[in-house]
Structure 1
């Protein structure tokens, strides 16, 4: 229990808090009593459910905007006193054609987007231009147009274009403008504005009143109601015609003279518009923007939005609703945008901060703060309750009793009545961190001291040393689930689950990866856990951490709706995860869930608190969701979320190559050679939240897959190389609706001379020529080496032949002579003489064979072309008796043979011919030579007795082995066919490359020969 002085100090703080609450309540009452023209607006940047953005000259917007239009391609066009501008939601681009397309004037007074995609431009002091497909067409007095200011364009259902000018109404037909004759019964000399209603009726305000021309007629009718200087005409959803008077009011006009019951706005107006929801918007010349949400109600109040509320200027003129339902307002200082907002800010006093929110049992939201008394929000009404500040925690139990905690204790609120202060068991603390109640009425409180406090049966107890409880820590969040289990979330990724007095720790070992546990929320099947590092799910004792990256960081508020949707208040904004996407939070394949995000672009101020006060999300009885941030409290109605269903038009704006810009058109863009830095600028015309538009692009012929560019609007390529490409880009609007068709731009990058096909062909030919030269050079070197070896071989053979001739043959010849002399000395009938003569015959035969071998060593073919004649001479020189018939058959044109080849073939053929003469007893020997293009053939055939074909290498038989060895040595193949009694055929085949001498000696010799022939 506290001492008397401490209780007195606490009582003094309570009295001070009640005094501040009373003062704040009185202030709110006084503010509500202040007079004003209609409903007072929030001092933020919102008009009712609209979010407002302003662009001024300081933001790059043009000066005074006098006209607005949106063409079919999605661009927003701004007419100003200084020219025409185009806006894609991000960048203002001045459009100023040159040459023959140059505009006839600079000051623009009217814009109109026609159904065929053209933009009609009216100028002050006369002249009209139309932009279509990048080309401009101009109209002036020569085309029948009056030389006076064009105030407004209107196009009727027949496609006829009307122009309201200072000197009357004109229409365009067959390329010329026509004035109205008397048969039209047009009242007045001026046409100040024109408008075509839903039925096709043309309404025109003149200097004499209001008139209309029904569809299909050619005669105007006057409206009997008196009007002032009408600057705008619009049609309400119920068919009523409203006017904006520059010197009067915004009101509905009675067409038949009967009194109208709709309200009027007694302020001069310059523009008028009914949006798609039926609300009336009106601009004023100095009094800001007016909005009438329910123009059909007689007692409807209107909203006003002025510069003090964030408007760019109080002097406003044109109004436009674009394709996505966004309202655009042109002002004297730039451009203002109003788009539907899903996020609605709560009406809280200025300077309020550190909000503790909790829903009460009546469907209202209770908001506590550090410096304001307890606030109650319901039906957009703000009330104050007499409760001391600050408040740092709030909780509603199952009996709809609200518990509120702060440095001065605990309070309960039920049925709108506050109970007395409930003292806490600790005197030295700075605030209540978290509160929870279980089904048995047990109250759990976390203070900024270690452990947790429990109130049961009127007595406090302190739990600080439970097994698994982080030492020296107090819970950041508390929740008692449907099974009366207490969940305590701590800093540094720790949860302690207390069930029937038994603690169960949950941390990294169990798969928890959320960092500081700052949010707990229970649904039908499990528990959601949020922290500064992510989101997790605890279900059936299993812990799973979500895949989402930074999107799920800094979560301090979680709401699970009855339908299964999940709402998170985190550092990246308010996230909405539909029930169908929840399984992808834990998808093992890595697929990320699709979610919607609401952040500062939607009007969310700041980020949620991460420490105290938490939780930062609540759901009231009406189904509305509330989220607290460091700078305010906002609400979202899940049942009334507005989505943008319009896929954004996509355009390729320009191409920049190495610092030089090229316009993007429909035809292929021809780019110079050698481009190192290619930049392609593109855009998408989703003007509601252009900062959230996402892009993907692909350069066909370069990229293999689509590139995710995020919100970037320029594609970069380094050294793409020459070739034909097609750049394609697609985009999604702020709600993820993709334009899958997108836009495309063909590109042709010229090649440098070394990148052309002919250059590559020349390089290939040059490479082949170099290879051929290298091959010929190699052949020369090899041929030279072969010639040297062959020369050495021939010289060695000649030496051996000389020595055999000079020694062995001469010795045998001398021996024969001596034997002959000895035989002559014997008698003729001496038997020894017969033996000697027989021996001499054998010796002469051996000497003849030796002479033949010597002749073979010396070589019988001196030139490659006499191979056939040399083989015929073999048969003649053999002198065989009786001589057989020897024939030579030559096929093809004889060609010069390589020296070594000729010698080897001669020796093979000689051996075959001698074998046919000596052993085969042949009657005919045929020598065939075939000079083919791809090979050389030598074949020797006889009709002798044949011979057995022995295997090579058989001892004692060297003739066949020698022929095979000679054939292999020159790269040929030898084949022997013989059958007993059927003759013998010896055939040799040799490739042309190995047999024939080259006809040319190389490229150098060929060039030299060509030069010699020319000279």
Structure 2
């Protein structure tokens, strides 16, 4: 985009928003000059060419659609413009658009786009598709579609330069056709060059040498007097007086009064003007664009608005006024142009120096202007430079401060020459100079202020603060308590209460005492450039690098760029009538709402809005001049005046209209690793996509470069991302999930479209992070775990079976060994003892009864009898022969009976017949278990009573031995299992070998219970009861 700051088309500012229609052809050069109207209201021009993205420099049609985009018809194709970028839809990119050359555009009621072309007739562009509109009845295409119009009923009218007038009708099949509307005999030639739909629903039709008015079925023809039959009507419009104006291709103007078409009297116009169109307004003023300038029609006459020196050589083809009152022109060779009202008017003083330092109001509407090494300039209240004798007196001096006091005396502070005092009303009067040579404390004076008592206060660069009154001079420096000797800002808050801004902070002079404010008060120790108070009484201090500081007299709160301030250098502060503080710095001028500044000061708001103004708002430079007093002013009309290094910047406050239209926001393009994807529906991002780029736009054409954006990926970003003027967002490595990308925007005046635009985006998880993969992993791990556990259990089972086999073999071996020993004792030693006993008894028989020998032999026989009993008992314990002779049940009963006489414990028995229920090995095992249990009762329990109960059911034989003895407390193994002695461990081992179950319960002092359950049929794994 090329910004032509110096090109100003001057309209009457009050009527700009009311322009209705333009379709003119006028010429001007790309680097023009400023043209001022009587009101001095400038317009700025901007242009875009092929260098900025246009496909071709001829812009034939301009349209803003319902979405807010600007559509352009060019010889290089159809173009969409968002204020920053052009998107070209040409024959190359859109196959259905068979021609590059677009002549006319129209938006239908359904937001569809109708396109008139040079060689392909009428096209309908809807939902991204181009559809050619056929002629009803197979009529051949006749000439370019040069003009389109839609009446109040929604009917679309098509004007063809050779084919005449057509209207679009529904073909009954969901499509459209073109129906010819004859104009003969009203039109001697069939071509239509201009269409305009009036507010009453009627249609005005311009042709070659003819003008017609179509109202329903009635056609009224107007004869244009003194007109060549080959001349075309090119534009029409109606003013508020219901006068219809039209212009012709030979640059003549007509107005329709009643039923007659009158040519505007040529003698009322300057000969150098040739007109191409009427610009209709909803006020009596109307404007004409010409080759050499602009004319304003007022009270029956056209008045010149200035001559911007347009160059001959190219013409304008079309125009358009958008919703924000920007005026757009399309030219034949110079591309797209936009005109809008400038916020600032720059005023220059007479002479070469325009580096402004100080501004001060004077009597009679004069504005005194201090110039950096250029003396004193003078402007009137309209900003017009004036010549004054004071300028001649001071032209060689570097003036940094100009002040006219209430007596009318002028005080001029300089760099190096002290202060000059003179009466500007008396040019020949004596000029008094106050400097060090005359006893004045300083030669460099940068600030001047008149206090309520009429004293003049001066700020100096190195001599502190000086008070001058009736020839008396007094100074305050750091020796008197000032933070610094460089004083650039002064403000009298009340009589006797003077705020002083120095290069090292703020001070207050009151009751002849200086008070300073250090960091502990919140006031930064920065250079102070300006001090003022707003209408509510809040004191505002502008600093060099620490922002603006608000104060209520007790506390100080800095507001910086961290809180939204445009810049931390604040050299100017002036409040306007609309509730804004205007501030200036080295990077431009901005305004912030006073209410927001106070809210930040009070802690009710965290950020302040800053609306920036720069070169594209009419400023000739961004750099303002600050650190002088008086520095800026507000005139009675409300205008704000601020000094810059290139003249005085003036804001016409009464003419500023805030741009209250929130900008429409659109997501224009989404790419995944550089490949564009359809964003009209939710986006699915594959897990291997590395970069997601989202391009968005907001459609405000006042200052597109000032649009501010913020966006977030809702669900991923916790807070909004402040994107500034960046029009793209980038994401990578986003946590998988479904999110909403949301973007909102604010226009140049800070009006936000909080609805914005959004799109749903799902970032797919890689397969290793999906639920099904995780479930698969869990199942796999569980399966592996089960395999490991199963393998371990199998190993334990094999180990256990091996252990049990070993134990079984050992026990069987023991039983076999016992049986062998029992047999040897019974058959060997037992028999020999019987023989020995019998021989002893036989020997005793032969001896006298009373002989000692007989007695000894009888004792030997008794001893042999006891030994035989012991041998039999041992043999019995080693091998219970009763099992073979008596069976298991009787053997168990016999075991209890046998042990009863040998102990004082009373046994109760209940033994069910269990013969034949257990295998031979299990019978021996059960017998051994009972032996061991009874042995423990007799030897260790110290019980008085015990019971032995043996029962059976369908599957098991149950042995239960219980006593009321002292019980015991078992130990614990390293694995946390109960630890028992040798006897009980033997019982447990035998139970396991028989696939039985056991339970050993003992409480110290509460007796012991041993319960055993042996299966009689299907073996089961050993378990603890």
Question: Shorter-chain TM-score: which interval?
Answer: 0.7 to 0.9
User: Which of 72, 80, 91 is 2:66 aligned to?
Assistant: 72
Match of 1:740 in 2: 754
Hey, what's the Cα distance between the residues in 1 that align with 2:211 and 2:315? 25
Match of 1:57 in 2: 50
Give the conservation status (yes or no) of the 8 Å contact 1:532–1:610: no
Q: Deviations over 1:679-705 (max 9, x none)?
A: 121112112211122223333564444
1:728–1:500 CA distance, 2 compared to 1 (3 A): closer
Match of 1:480 in 2: 492
User: Which of 235, 238, 255 is 1:235 aligned to?
Assistant: 238
2:519 aligned with 1:508, yes or no? yes
Superposition map of 1:838-849 within 5 A: 841=869, 844-845=872-873, 847-849=875-877
User: Which of 162, 167, 180 is 1:171 aligned to?
Assistant: 167
Residue 541 of structure 2 aligns to a residue whose secondary structure is strand
Stretches of structure 1 lacking an aligned partner (at least 5 in a row): 1-36, 856-868, 930-937, 999-1015
Give the conservation status (yes or no) of the 8 Å contact 2:284–2:299: no
Hey, what's the Cα distance between the residues in 1 that align with 2:655 and 2:948? 118
User: Which of 148, 154, 178 is 2:149 aligned to?
Assistant: 154
Match of 1:248 in 2: 251
Give the conservation status (yes or no) of the 8 Å contact 1:547–1:592: no
Residue 652 of structure 1 aligns to a residue whose secondary structure is strand
Q: Deviations over 1:573-601 (max 9, x none)?
A: 33323232123333557711234333334
Q: Deviations over 1:314-364 (max 9, x none)?
A: 632211011222111112211111223433333556752234222345566
Shift of 1:888: 10
Hey, what's the Cα distance between the residues in 2 that align with 1:968 and 1:440? 119
Q: Deviations over 1:700-728 (max 9, x none)?
A: 56444443322211111114477655433
Hey, what's the Cα distance between the residues in 2 that align with 1:904 and 1:569? 110
User: Which of 613, 625, 633 is 1:618 aligned to?
Assistant: 633
Superposition map of 1:159-238 within 5 A: 159-167=154-162, 168-174=164-170, 175-181=176-182, 185=186, 188-214=189-215, 216-222=216-222, 229-238=232-241
Shift of 1:244: 3.0
Say what the alpha-carbon RMSD is for the aligned residues.
5.1
Superposition map of 1:882-921 within 5 A: 884-886=911-913
Hey, what's the Cα distance between the residues in 2 that align with 1:102 and 1:291? 44
Hey, what's the Cα distance between the residues in 2 that align with 1:418 and 1:76? 63
User: Which of 602, 624, 643 is 1:628 aligned to?
Assistant: 643
2:999 aligned with 1:986, yes or no? no
2:968 aligned with 1:952, yes or no? yes
2:544 aligned with 1:532, yes or no? yes
Q: Deviations over 1:145-192 (max 9, x none)?
A: 642122211111111111222122222212222222368955643221
Hey, what's the Cα distance between the residues in 2 that align with 1:170 and 1:63? 29
Superposition map of 1:802-813 within 5 A: none
Match of 1:651 in 2: 666
Q: Deviations over 1:855-889 (max 9, x none)?
A: 9xxxxxxxxxxxxx99x996576474999434599
Give the conservation status (yes or no) of the 8 Å contact 1:109–1:151: yes
2:657 aligned with 1:642, yes or no? yes
1:108–1:458 CA distance, 2 compared to 1 (3 A): same
2:951 aligned with 1:925, yes or no? yes
Shift of 1:607: 3.5
Give the conservation status (yes or no) of the 8 Å contact 1:392–1:613: yes
Residue 662 of structure 2 aligns to a residue whose secondary structure is coil
Residue 600 of structure 2 aligns to a residue whose secondary structure is helix
Match of 2:368 in 1: 366
Normalising by structure 2, we get a TM-score of: 0.76
Residue 102 of structure 1 aligns to a residue whose secondary structure is coil
Residue 494 of structure 2 aligns to a residue whose secondary structure is coil
Match of 2:4 in 1: none
Give the conservation status (yes or no) of the 8 Å contact 2:435–2:443: no
Match of 2:701 in 1: 687
Hey, what's the Cα distance between the residues in 1 that align with 2:727 and 2:209? 51
Match of 1:453 in 2: 466
- Considering only CA atoms, is the larger Rg found in Structure 1 or Structure 2? 2
User: Which of 76, 84, 88 is 1:94 aligned to?
Assistant: 88
2:569 aligned with 1:554, yes or no? yes
Hey, what's the Cα distance between the residues in 2 that align with 1:987 and 1:264? 132
Superposition map of 1:290-689 within 5 A: 290=294, 292=296, 295-298=297-300, 301-303=303-305, 306=308, 315-331=315-331, 332-346=333-347, 348=349, 352-360=354-362, 365-370=367-372, 371=374, 373-387=376-390, 388-389=394-395, 390-395=398-403, 397=405, 403-407=411-415, 409-411=419-421, 420-426=430-436, 431-470=444-483, 473-491=485-503, 493-513=504-524, 515-523=526-534, 525-533=537-545, 534-549=547-562, 551-560=566-575, 565-586=580-601, 588=603, 591-609=606-624, 613=628, 616-662=631-677, 664-669=678-683, 674-689=688-703
Q: Deviations over 1:42-93 (max 9, x none)?
A: 3699992533322233333341212111111111111122222111000112
Hey, what's the Cα distance between the residues in 2 that align with 1:79 and 1:273? 21
Residue 447 of structure 2 aligns to a residue whose secondary structure is strand
Stretches of structure 2 lacking an aligned partner (at least 5 in a row): 1-27, 171-175, 850-857, 898-909, 940-944, 972-979
Residue 599 of structure 2 aligns to a residue whose secondary structure is helix
Residue 551 of structure 1 aligns to a residue whose secondary structure is coil
Normalising by structure 1, we get a TM-score of: 0.77
Give the conservation status (yes or no) of the 8 Å contact 2:621–2:646: yes
Shift of 1:269: 4.2
Hey, what's the Cα distance between the residues in 2 that align with 1:54 and 1:593? 33
The number of residue pairs the alignment matches comes to: 910
Q: Deviations over 1:898-952 (max 9, x none)?
A: x9x99999987997899999997778621575xxxxxxxx77267x9x7548643
Shift of 1:221: 3.9
1:435–1:877 CA distance, 2 compared to 1 (3 A): same
Give the conservation status (yes or no) of the 8 Å contact 2:887–2:915: no
Hey, what's the Cα distance between the residues in 2 that align with 1:312 and 1:445? 56
Hey, what's the Cα distance between the residues in 2 that align with 1:166 and 1:985? 120
1:950–1:850 CA distance, 2 compared to 1 (3 A): farther
Hey, what's the Cα distance between the residues in 1 that align with 2:595 and 2:929? 92
Shift of 1:303: 3.2
Shift of 1:808: 10
Give the conservation status (yes or no) of the 8 Å contact 2:969–2:1002: no
Hey, what's the Cα distance between the residues in 2 that align with 1:385 and 1:903? 142
1:737–1:439 CA distance, 2 compared to 1 (3 A): closer
Residue 352 of structure 1 aligns to a residue whose secondary structure is coil
Hey, what's the Cα distance between the residues in 2 that align with 1:470 and 1:164? 78
1:967–1:822 CA distance, 2 compared to 1 (3 A): closer
Give the conservation status (yes or no) of the 8 Å contact 2:43–2:339: yes
Give the conservation status (yes or no) of the 8 Å contact 1:187–1:222: no
Match of 1:1002 in 2: none
2:122 aligned with 1:128, yes or no? yes
Shift of 1:556: 0.8
Give the conservation status (yes or no) of the 8 Å contact 2:530–2:571: yes
Q: Deviations over 1:237-290 (max 9, x none)?
A: 443322233312456443444979998687344455446788655555x546x3
1:173–1:364 CA distance, 2 compared to 1 (3 A): farther
1:727–1:763 CA distance, 2 compared to 1 (3 A): same
Shift of 1:391: 2.6
Match of 2:722 in 1: 708
Give the conservation status (yes or no) of the 8 Å contact 1:343–1:634: yes
- Deviating more after overlay: 222-231 vs 378-387: 222-231
Give the conservation status (yes or no) of the 8 Å contact 1:434–1:447: yes
Hey, what's the Cα distance between the residues in 1 that align with 2:528 and 2:730? 42
Residue 780 of structure 2 aligns to a residue whose secondary structure is helix
1:817–1:518 CA distance, 2 compared to 1 (3 A): farther
Q: Deviations over 1:809-860 (max 9, x none)?
A: 978997766665554434899799778757755664455345579x9xxxxx
1:188–1:313 CA distance, 2 compared to 1 (3 A): closer
